[in-house]
Structure 1
Amino acid sequence: MELKDYWRTLRRRWKVVILCLLLTVAAASVFTFSATPQYSSSAQIFVSTSPTDASQAYQGSLFATQRISSYAKIVDTRKLASRVADDLGSTYTPDELRDEVTATVDPDTVLLTITATDPDPTTARDIAQAYAEELSNYIAGLETPDGKKRPLIKASIVDNAERTTTPVSPQPVRNLGLAIVLGLLLGVGVAVLRELLDTSVSNAEDVGEVTEAPILGHIGTDPNAVKVAPADVLRDVTPWAEAFRVLRTNMQFVEVDRPQRIFVVSSSLPGEGKSTTAVNLAITLAMAKQRVALIECDLRRPLIANRLSLDGAVGTTSVLIGKVQLADALQEYADTGLQVLTCGPIPPNPSELLQSVAMEKMLGELRDQFDVVILDAPPLLPVTDAALLASQADGALVVVRHGKTTRDQLRHAIERVEAVDAKVVGVVINLAPARRTGRSYGYGYGYSYGYSYAQDQVSGGDSTKQARDERRQGRRKRRS
């Protein structure tokens, strides 16, 4: 990964970084502010010999330096801890005292520092002082030769232990600072790891790794859109409705040599929004004064009749088995001019019907009567229906769900289409997060510059172009 890839990863997964940071800081805060304050106190011992001349002084200093490390080890012995426990009374056991005391030697010196740590500052002082006194006496006993009264090495207390009022732990500033650094590093690491392991389709680069087919649209999320009739919600000036107008504009450049075009709308797996995309694309095309037919070819799990509040008793299956004529089965949706053919009775053999001669004949009739025909097909991976339809149409429009559809799933879906000598005319990324950039469309965009649905209907053009012209006119008026 290059530096720009890391930056892109952090922008896409900043929530992961923030979550790791918050969790780390929260854990550090709980640990810091729930921990019992600990106080420490230190006593210092100077180890020396009793030389009679300069040469003996030098040798004695070397001897003391060599021996002082051994004295530091004695501090951790159980025997010395027992002596200190006897001095302090029955407050602590020898094992508890050994856990609270440490001994350090300053490099290249004969100074030994004994440090005691305890929740009570007074107790910490008493333990450190008792250890220093007992160690001094213990060393004197060890270093006194048999038959002699004076020890060869003397351990003198040069700094008595004092009671401190500032705890040595916990240290909130240090702990929280380390938690912030650790949380950021952990968050960045998790974000990069997730990026490396993530195989879902979420941008143009992901699609480009799978297919050369262009991305014709990015459809965002709008929870309120599914609660309103499609004809009404697509008349509103919202980013969601604008996304379908952009998709409509891009579809005009697909198969431009054919005056009548048939497109299959499908996806890799269920739940990726292919039916919603097919319905709204067809309505948006019809609103631009094109002759459009929406044909439900998902004969396994039909949804269009319920979504558009149409009669689902007669539809595609009825026409294919010759029960009714195509013209009699088509239903006009609202006042959009869109002609809809719902599923009809669910058949036991959907694949056989979709590759029948009757299906080929019906598609021929649709091509003669309409400018654009949208076939809402089943997903490509579970069944072969969509691939069979794509072989009879002018191409397939594959819908992928942002952050859920994987590159392998998209690749296999496209391979299904290409296996029947059909082609993918484009990809639509559905349920994409909102883009908060200077070029994005706000809800007040159309209202601010006089955009109206009626103007778009009269011109038959895309709302983006209309709004851009209105914007230029507004600037000219302000200048004048």
Structure 2
Amino acid sequence: MVPLDWPDYLGRDGPATSLHSGRWAALPGATRRLVDTRGLGGRMTLREYVDILKKWWKVLAALTAVGLLTGGILAVAVPSKYEATAQLYVSIPTSDSATELNQAATYLARELKSYTTVATSPYVLEPVRRDTGMNDSVSELQDMLDVTNPTATSVIQVTATADSPGDAQTLANGVVRQLTKGVETLSPEVANRPGAVRAKVLSEAQRPDKTSGIPAWAWPLAGLVVGALVGVVAAMVLESLVRRPRTTSELRTVPGAALTATLPRMKHVSDARSFDPVLGEQVPAVQNTPQITAMRARLQQRHPEVLPHNAGCAVLAVTGSRGGDGATTVAVELARSFAALGSRVALVDAHFSDRGATVRLAQQEQPGISDLLERRASAEQGVVRLGPGLTFLPAGSPTDRASDLVCSETMGDLVRELRSEFDVVVLDCAPLDESADAVVLGELADEILLVTVPGRVTADALQNCVTQLRGAPVSLVANKVRSTRGSSGLV
């Protein structure tokens, strides 16, 4: 039995260690920021996306690697292409007769379309192969050519695409020169005048010094980006296939647990400043949200002994389905809410490895439960009087025997001793994804509050958490609930 002299030490008007020493002001800035934000997390939507990507990181990494590899293969397999362009100008002689000019213009517009077809015909390409010595077949040369007649012009543009800059230049110039001869040979006379249609090389193709299309270095980069995007989409699809309770209606269907309350993301939470009268005028008072008050009312209905004038005590174990669900926030705010009724409340930080409540209340240097259990401190040294009716037992010195201490007979004796001296005992326990400490402490409690954030854990994982907590009735507390996920408050 731990030798605790609770009546003499924790009388309503008795002396107690407090936060009045200004310890908060002495904390380093980084520690104060940690105390301010611990348990709150970032915006829920962003947190969900990050959690999904973390969960499916292997899929994301694998698809990104596949995309990078595919891009590298394409960079090697797809040959570089070069483009060269030459232009041909086609004209007809002028005339004093408006009728002849009109007829000639109509004829030329029709013939220009025909010349683009002639440019890729064997009539032109066979002589080009012979004159240039290119080994490609006529059909292969046709695939390498793009011959167009820009709208409202008398220009024929010949673009050749080849694996080498020299072949591209040679082919474009060869086609233009051969087409120049063909235009005058194939075109009939206009208005009985020989040589009416004339063709002239407007510009010869220059040897290209840059590749066209996608450069080789861009293929791996494109593959990396596409692979990553496909990985993100795959992660989201896989996540959607895993059923996760996201609404209050879905949480009500979890067997073995009743949904007691839904809480919004709290903008202001209690910390060391909330209990320090030195800073009381500088820091706005943190009021319990209506949802916390509603949850307390539901617990009062089930445990009337929590009221100050009723005999008995209720021990409430608060844990989370996973780290970051906000169980510490719920435990601290619930303890403050009960103390506001006039009940004698003991808030116990039983999460020895994280010491969340201890850090938030700036009691890292204060002896606590671990010191009491290992007999390094007395009861008088191991407790802190936060305010009227509210006593805090810090986690104490860091220890690598956290689970051993929780499972010890001495811990059970401590909880039973607290039960005999307080109206409400709130145990802030480690989340179930970190240890089974909450399972052990739950056997000492009258009710277990399992805090979870809708959408963060699967239905199977949540059911497994409930199944583990067999020592007392389990109530679900949906935390950080957004308006789209169901109304907040008592359900």
With normalisation by structure 1, the TM-score equals: 0.49
With normalisation by structure 2, the TM-score equals: 0.48
Larger RCO, structures 1/2 (Cα 8 Å, 6+ apart): 2
